[in-house]
Structure 1
Amino acid sequence: MEPEVVVAGAGPVGLMLACELRRQGVGVVLVERTTEPANDNRAQALHGRTIPVLDRRGLLPRFRAAERELNGGGSGGTESHRKRPLPRGHFAGITGLLPSAPDPDPDVPPVVFVPQWVTTRLLTEHAAELGVVLHRGSEITAVEQDADGVTVAVSGGTAPARLRARYLIGCDGARSVVRRSAGIDFAGTGATLSTLAAEVHLDDPADLPVGWHRTQHGCTVISPHPEGGHSRVVVIDFSGPDADREAPVTLTELEERIAGVLGRKVAMSDLKNAQRYGDAARLADRYRVGRVFLAGDAAHIHYPVGGQGLNIGLQDAVNLAWKLAADLRGWAPDGLLDTYHTERYPVADSVLTHTRAQVALLAPGPRIDALRTLFTDLIGLADVSRYLSEKMSAADVRYDMGEAEPHPLTGRFAPSLRLATEQGERRLADLLAGGRPLLLDLSGRAATAAVAARWADRVDVHAATCPAEPALGSLLIRPDSYVAWACAPGDAPDQVERGLEAALRRWFGAPDHQ
């Protein structure tokens, strides 16, 4: 049978997309050119909106278990999480940022420290559970689309030489074949620096600067293993990009780069998982051309400072998947697929801006020293810290839901809520686990539920109360956890019914029974 969607690239973003589509019952085939998952550890943590999304798909316990395993075991349970202080973030290595909006749910930490290869492994396992077909060692060589679908030519591996699907999604990285085949421009700025990152055994980690350390010759980021295992070491050289990005990193090269920054040799051995990368920053001018879409690094790349690239790529996935599923099932309203670009492009554009700013602030030189002194003072101000934290975590994202005078929550990520229901206490995360739209009725209005009942084939309705949020009336929540419409308990009944029906039609199409 032909798949409904082909996803190019089985990194975390492609895997998340495939999982989200399968959750909606969509037939998916993943095509990956490498024969084995990459040992990619550029992203060292998941944070921001990604954590509650994983929670709302029932995946967070897997990631927390992996985090505990990497840290040598331990309970890592809810009680220990409550007792730990909130981790402080950084902007260009200037520490002091608190999480922008700590989740009120004690089961949802602000950060989960797992490297990217662990995220890939866990999502690969979940994709297999959901029945995603994954072809490894298979490379897409050509793409043709017409009014009814996309034809993909594939070379090597286990995939057939030709795949036909309704849609194709390029999650195949910065050098995306899918993007080039679709004729999408990838404008931006080239690399100006070189970064080496690796895991090594440090002979004397206590004698080294831990965390971000900037000198007049570059930067190091050293994270010693707490029990003497392999430590992560990063060194940034501002003298220019590497002539050969693909050249393997050697232990000698890493030692020389670190010595050049710190002014002394650092004894290390047993190099593994080494990488080199630059600070190129590019953004696709379109996320969609007909039946071809882009997500993750195929749509946007930037310097991996603050761990934002992987996180916004995963958010691309949850934004796009439900919209594609709606179209494939025949109930998507006109223009729904185009909202993927209009919503996600500005997010990546903003990330490119503030990661470029961070690279500039990391550079050596007395003028940058002055700027860093100023930024250090500014980060000490609560409003500035909140602003930067929201940028880093995507907590500032608010989509246009088409209302002239929206409720303060409309367009924003739905907050974590603990709800009182007839079945007992439930978490909002539990109600969203299936990946379906949700009307959460907190006001007990029969008319509200009656309006939504006409969309019962595609929208779940749950009545509850939320003692901690008495000012909330009802919330219409999209599968990606963003609020499509909301009302307050005191809003006029006719206004509530009109607003809810308009939002249901805008995002979830016409009801089966008018």
Structure 2
Amino acid sequence: MLDVLIAGAGPVGLWLAAELRLHGVEVTVVERRAAPDGRSRAVGMQAGTLDTFATRGLAERFIERGTPVPTGHFGAATTRLDFSTVGAVHPFMLALGQSVTEKVLEEHALAVGARVLRGEEVVSLTQGPDAVETVIRAAGAHRTVRARWVVGCDGTRSAVRQAAGIGFPGQDTTMTGWLADVELDDPPTGPLSATGPAGSLLVAPIGDGVHRLAGLSTATVHRGTGDPLTLEEVREQARALLGRGLGIHNPRWLSRYGNATRQAPRYRAGRVLVAGDAAHMFFPAGGQGMNLGIQDATNLGWKLAATLQGRAPDGLLDSYDAERRPAARAVIHNTRAQLALFAAASPEQIALREVWSAALAEPRTNRQWARRIAGFDDPLPAGTAPGAHPLTGTRLAGLALDVADAPTAHPLMHHGRPLLLDLGGTRTPCSTPGLDCRTVVVNVEASHPVWRDVTAVLIRPDARIAWASTDTDPQRRAADCRAALSTLCR
């Protein structure tokens, strides 16, 4: 019997498989496609995702293959978001095709011991008290696989979600945009956005001499997602909004996409969980979809592993749903707002876009939304502990340390275990009989201003701060630390 069966070998399923293997969990990924898809739905890797990959020592593998982009967009606002302000080690969006991301993640998952089986798809499942029986179809034949847990990372039409009886309520498509991956004879010098009576247009390089053009045309906004997109339509939009055709030729992919918006009302049904597009879908504004799913997998991996191995306290796995559904709701909310700016046509709507563009010129507002689009500051349920430190629940984001071989905390997290940083000058004892958390304890000094007065900080495997203290008494600090640890593992 398998420990975990994952449906879907996209970025989310592959990353979840690797995270589970980090804790010694036996995991198999099944993927309906017989071969990787060369097209790239996602072409932007946000700073928050790079930060997550850095905690496992993988960020450079992506950076060496992509193109750093220092700014981003919020809808069709004319003021761009400045990613240099987000406080990350890699303060940029990385232009990188999803096909490349999947290749790197599959290599990583296989290297750490995951199995990836292509040309196989889940068609049904039945839950029992201790396992899930899953029927898998491959090459026209069916077989039954038993697994202790099943995770659906198999997209918006998730067979796992449907078989588990998890709903997917929301809004159907009411308007469509389009994308075109093409070569340009007359490319812009950098990412470009434009708006006007004809609609909106974004242009950005995605590598190998290819640019992605993404637009919303007022003349075609109500066409169906299945209607063919022509190269001439793309050229007309470029000429209308930019005054030049960009020399568009050699299309790699032409497609329409809609604004259908849905979210599962629960991310867990018994021994079945969903993550990524199987749990949420929305208009692809700001390059947030894949990045949100990667954070789903990062949150779920260590919690599911601890549950499998009997190390999880009561309620730990349920916190996956409690934490990730609000994060997705926040993205759904901002993508709807972005679509309103993209589709602005009336004088009132155009005025709204101009007002928002002016608001983003204010540095604090720009930084706030740069961080959110970059994948930081997603909401967590409010903590119940009185007097919790303001850092509690926030992302570590590679904050600086004064350690020769670890200038940030990222290298200290490659193991995927809870990390206790003792900044108070006295080693904080963390272990206690009956508490098996495999916690790594490190004595450090910290140079970043955010650590001022902090004497100890406990970091979850997903780089969330679980607990921080300003107490200078070692015994009280140790007791508080053990209490915090008991909420992560036992």
Alignment TM-score, normalising by the size of structure 1: 0.87
Q: Pairwise mapping of residues 74-473 of structure 1 onto structure 2 (< 5 A)?
A: 87-94=70-77, 95-99=79-83, 101-103=85-87, 105=89, 108-157=90-139, 161-205=143-187, 211-223=192-204, 229-238=209-218, 239-243=220-224, 245=226, 249-252=229-232, 254-255=234-235, 268-363=248-343, 364-399=345-380, 400-420=382-402, 427-446=408-427, 448-451=428-431, 455=435, 458-468=438-448, 469-473=451-455
Cα contact 1:138–1:154 (8 A) shared by 2? yes
Q: Which residue of 1 aligns with 2:45?
A: 46
Q: Which residue of 2 aligns with 1:17?
A: 16
Q: Which residue of 2 aligns with 1:504?
A: 485
The CA distance in 2 between the partners of 1:442 and 1:159, in whole Å, is 58
Deviations 1:273-306, CA, capped at 9 Å, x for gaps: 3332111111111011111111000111111111
The CA distance in 2 between the partners of 1:424 and 1:196, in whole Å, is 46
**Which of 359-368 and 303-312 deviates more?**
359-368
Cα contact 2:201–2:237 (8 A) shared by 1? no
Say which SS state the counterpart of residue 15 (structure 1) adopts: helix
Q: Which residue of 2 aligns with 1:80?
A: none
Deviations 1:459-505, CA, capped at 9 Å, x for gaps: 122222224445221111110000111112x4444542332121111
Cα contact 2:179–2:214 (8 A) shared by 1? yes
**Which of 43-52 and 158-167 deviates more?**
158-167
Cα contact 2:6–2:150 (8 A) shared by 1? yes
Cα contact 2:417–2:438 (8 A) shared by 1? yes
Deviation at residue 167 of structure 1 after TM alignment: 0.6
Deviation at residue 266 of structure 1 after TM alignment: 6.8
The CA distance in 2 between the partners of 1:159 and 1:479, in whole Å, is 40
Q: Go from structure 1 to structure 2 and tell me whether the alpha carbon gap of 1:403 and 1:32 turns closer, same or farther (over 3 Å shift).
A: same
Cα contact 1:98–1:385 (8 A) shared by 2? yes
Q: Which residue of 2 aligns with 1:83?
A: none
Query: RMSD in angstroms over aligned alpha carbons?
Result: 2.8
Deviation at residue 64 of structure 1 after TM alignment: 1.1
**Which of 466-475 and 307-316 deviates more?**
466-475
The CA distance in 1 between the partners of 2:17 and 2:249, in whole Å, is 39
Cα contact 2:76–2:200 (8 A) shared by 1? no
The CA distance in 1 between the partners of 2:475 and 2:358, in whole Å, is 51
Deviations 1:167-208, CA, capped at 9 Å, x for gaps: 1111110111111111112112111222221222334446x9
The CA distance in 1 between the partners of 2:17 and 2:140, in whole Å, is 18
The CA distance in 2 between the partners of 1:441 and 1:264, in whole Å, is 58
Q: Go from structure 1 to structure 2 and tell me whether the alpha carbon gap of 1:254 and 1:453 turns closer, same or farther (over 3 Å shift).
A: farther
Deviation at residue 44 of structure 1 after TM alignment: 1.8
Say which SS state the counterpart of residue 507 (structure 1) adopts: coil
The CA distance in 1 between the partners of 2:156 and 2:308, in whole Å, is 28
Deviation at residue 248 of structure 1 after TM alignment: 5.7
The CA distance in 2 between the partners of 1:331 and 1:224, in whole Å, is 45
The CA distance in 2 between the partners of 1:392 and 1:224, in whole Å, is 19
Q: Go from structure 1 to structure 2 and tell me whether the alpha carbon gap of 1:464 and 1:353 turns closer, same or farther (over 3 Å shift).
A: same
Unaligned stretches of 5+ residues in structure 2: none
Deviation at residue 428 of structure 1 after TM alignment: 1.1
The CA distance in 2 between the partners of 1:61 and 1:265, in whole Å, is 35
Deviations 1:129-188, CA, capped at 9 Å, x for gaps: 112111111111101111101111011149971111011111110111111111112112
Say which SS state the counterpart of residue 255 (structure 2) adopts: strand
Q: Go from structure 1 to structure 2 and tell me whether the alpha carbon gap of 1:466 and 1:402 turns closer, same or farther (over 3 Å shift).
A: same
Unaligned stretches of 5+ residues in structure 1: 77-85, 510-514
The CA distance in 2 between the partners of 1:491 and 1:225, in whole Å, is 50
The CA distance in 1 between the partners of 2:485 and 2:399, in whole Å, is 22
The CA distance in 2 between the partners of 1:293 and 1:429, in whole Å, is 28
Cα contact 1:136–1:158 (8 A) shared by 2? no
Q: Go from structure 1 to structure 2 and tell me whether the alpha carbon gap of 1:440 and 1:456 turns closer, same or farther (over 3 Å shift).
A: farther
**Which of 212-221 and 7-16 deviates more?**
212-221
Alignment TM-score, normalising by the size of structure 2: 0.91
Q: Go from structure 1 to structure 2 and tell me whether the alpha carbon gap of 1:330 and 1:261 turns closer, same or farther (over 3 Å shift).
A: same
